[in-house]
Structure 1
Amino acid sequence: MRTVKRLHPAFRDDIGDLVTRRPVPGPAIGHVGAFLFLNHHGPQRYPPNNRGLPFGPHPHRGFETVTFILEGELAHTDSAGHASIIRAGGIQWMTAGSGIVHAEVSPADFKRDGGPMEILQLWVNLPARLKMTAPRYVGAQAGAIPAVTADGATVHLISGAFGGAQGVVDSLTGVFLSWVEIEAGGSVTFDGLAGRDVFLYGARGMFHVEGTAVPHFHLAELGPGDGVTITATEPALFLFGHAAPIDEPIVAHGPFVMNSEAEIRQAFHDYQAGKFGVAEIVEA
């Protein structure tokens, strides 16, 4: 079974009035295999007549973004023609691939009324053979996401298989992703992890891995093994995922993740030339 090799605290990096914590990349860890970046926005409460989220139209190429809306709601539009408003408990999975412009903002009613907000966005790498794949988008509300409950833990299954259920997203690279709610006294075991890169981040409460406590706002870097058992003595919520290693160079600059500096320069050139298209902000 896997054990905790090291804990990495998320550091505060607020964006205006948006509370933001980032465990990876961090001072002691650049990425966790295919898992490149995580922003944890909130938890916080927005007052009525707020400005909402600040993520207007911006480009991406070469990877995927997976967004977990734990509280609040998020309006998405992109240059490939996708648009949705996803509410608490839902997810967005966007494959930037060859290039896309998207906007992630608060709907008009949230800006008018305010309310609680907590959102996590994870960046997942694509191998060279898929970096220029066609963009795609999946938006799923809470009711569409399979939830597998046993032994005091509920696994909300985003991609991959668990407990006889299949995730709502068919990952291009076989990535397993979930968010898990666990009660005091609860336990959940994930197996089939040999040779996989494992991502484990505590968002709320505290849980334990083979006797090591993992507090909220911490990333747990795990050692080798075929499985991991996570237990809790208090209610907790965490992200859990695993992916096949991508043994390729990672060259990241701003919104682009490629394999070489030349590909980064080409991405900027293509974006500036208008090849990624345009995303219109739709808030209602």
Structure 2
Amino acid sequence: VLQSVAFTNEVSPWLMFDYAAPKKFPPSSQQLGVGQHPHRGFETITMAFQGEVEHADSVGNRDVIGVGDVQWMTAGRGIIHEEFHSRKFAATGGTFEFCQLWLNLPAKDKMHPPKYQAILSKDIPVVRLSEKEYGPSARIIAGSLHGKVGPAETFTPVDLWDIIIPKDEESIELSLPNGHNTIIFVRRGGILLGNKKLGPQDTIILKPEINGSGENNILKLTSTTKDTSVILMGGEPINEPIAARGPFVMNTQEELRQAGNDFRTGKMGR
């Protein structure tokens, strides 16, 4: 989704965003997905919208996330993992939709021990964005909004909100932390942001607004269709060099070479 600016400070602390649009899969005896592969120096966040994702890694975590759940994995100094359609989903078939985000770690935390957070839908607080019954709402996965704090533990200030606007031509206002980068992704439906009209799977990157008062900035969105779904990704820029190659994200080319060597010699994933 962010191909032209992926792995740049323009979207920091975020690195990459991969969205798998809804797709129907027939029942199968084979689990589709990605086999064992390494990561170092960042975090992966997987959000399941439809279907189930099964995860296993080299430090003993094994889990299945379903509709509305979030998998937050800190690769840190190195982890080897695999991701597949769950056994249940493969057997029954159905519609599969998910996204995966890569989130950078600051230099001081890139060699942090690997960590896994299974964030269930029931544990994600929901904020009502209007006083109307069945009005717009936001699930706060990370960061905070209107006094509700997301369950994700993060290394730098990060916002990850899953926003639903049920009706068309309905406006919401979001309070964004001063100086944060913000990415808006329209998963479904459409919005009007200023004079920009965004449709399904459109993305816009908002430059950080820094005001002298230190107060939050207000972002106004207006839905242009019913049942609009928006993902907001924000965060405080890390502002450090980014060196990326394949599954590793470090600060220097030498650190990338060391990561590759550690993986080849079996020193990664413990």
TM superposition score normalised by structure 1: 0.85
Q: Which residue of 1 aligns with 2:236?
A: 244
Report what 1:202 is aligned to.
186
Counterpart of 2:145 (choices 155, 159, 162) is 162
Cα distance, 1:27 vs. partner? 7.2
1:54 matched residue in structure 2: 33
Change (3 A) 1:230 1:121: same
Task: Report what 2:165 is aligned to.
Answer: 182
Per-residue deviation, 1:81: 1.3
Instruction: Please show how residues 132-151 of structure 1 align to structure 2 within 5 Å.
Output: 132-151=111-130
1:160–1:170 contact (8 Å) kept in structure 2: no
Matched residue type, 2:241: P
Aligned residues: 256
Question: Which of 233, 239, 248 matches 1:256?
Answer: 248
C-alpha deviation, 1:28, in angstroms: 9.3
Q: Distance in 1 between matches of 2:173 and 2:29?
A: 41
1:102 counterpart = 2:81: yes
Separation in 1, partners of 2:194, 2:143:
24
Structure 1 residue 29: Cα displacement? 8.8
2:269 counterpart SS class: coil
1 or 2 for the larger relative contact order (CA 8 Å, sep ≥6)?
1
What is the Cα deviation at residue 227 of structure 1?
Answer: 2.6
What is the distance in 2 between the residues matched to 1:35 and 1:127? 11
Task: Report the equivalent of 1:32.
Answer: 11
The one-letter amino acid of 2:142's match is S
CA shift at 1:211, angstroms? 3.3
> C-alpha distance in 2, partners of 1:267/1:106?
28
CA distance in 1: counterparts of 2:73 and 2:38, whole angstroms: 12
The runs of 5 or more residues in structure 2 that have no matched partner are: 210-216
CA RMSD of aligned residues (A): 1.8
Which secondary structure does the structure 2 equivalent of 1:173 belong to?
coil
Q: Using structure 2 for the length normalisation, give the TM-score.
A: 0.89
Measure the CA separation in 2 of the matches of 1:101 and 1:186. 44
* Cα shift readout 1:24-51 (whole Å, capped 9, x = no counterpart): 1227995512111011112111111164
Unaligned ranges ≥5, structure 1: 1-22, 279-284
